[in-house]
Amino acid sequence: MSLARNKSRVVAMTILYQVFLYKKNKIDYNIADIVNEVNASNDLFVKSLVEGVIKYDDELEKIANKYLNNWTINRLGFTDQAIIKIGIYELLYTDTPFKVCIDEAIELAHEYSDDAVVKMINGVLDSIHHNENC
C-alpha cells in the first residue's frame, strides 16, 4: 500500500539516514533489504526517492555545497543531509512542483531539525530553484 507522499518522504528520510550511517561506518548494506525492513517495498515513491538520492548523491552534495554559505553538507547531521538531498533531488529530477518540494522539505525540517537548519534548507532550496534551471 502506498503512503501519502508526505509520509513517504519521512520513510525515505529514515532509510537515507540509515544508508548514510552505514556508509560512514563502512558497513555493507543492501538497499532493498533496508526498504523491506521499514515495510516500504510497495511504496514506489519511497523507492524512487531513495534510489534517486543514492544514484545522484555526489551531484546532490556538490549542488548543496554550492549554496551552503560557509558550510558543507557533510557538517550537517544525517537527518538534515537526507532532508536537503531529498529536496534537491525532487527539484532537479522529478516533476513535483518546486513549491511542494521546498514546502515538504521545510516541514520535514520543522519536525526533525532545529530552526537554524529549517532556515538554511529553505534558503538553499530556494536558491537552487532560482539558479539551477529547475
Longest dimension (CA), the chain: 42
For residues 108-114, give the mean pLDDT: 96
Lookup result for grid cell 526498504: 35
Residue 65: is it exposed, middle or buried by C-beta count within 10 angstroms (0-12/13-18/19+)?
middle
Model confidence, pTM = 0.92
CA-closest candidate to residue 53, choices 26, 30, 31, 24: 31
Tens digits of per-residue pLDDT, 86-98? 999 999 999 999 9
For residues 27-42, give the mean pLDDT: 85
Q: Is the pLDDT at 1 greater than 50, yes or no?
A: no
pLDDT band of residue 134 (cuts 50, 70, 90) is low
CB atoms under 10 Å from CB of 27, counted, come to 10
Between residues 127 and 39, the one the model is more confident about: 127
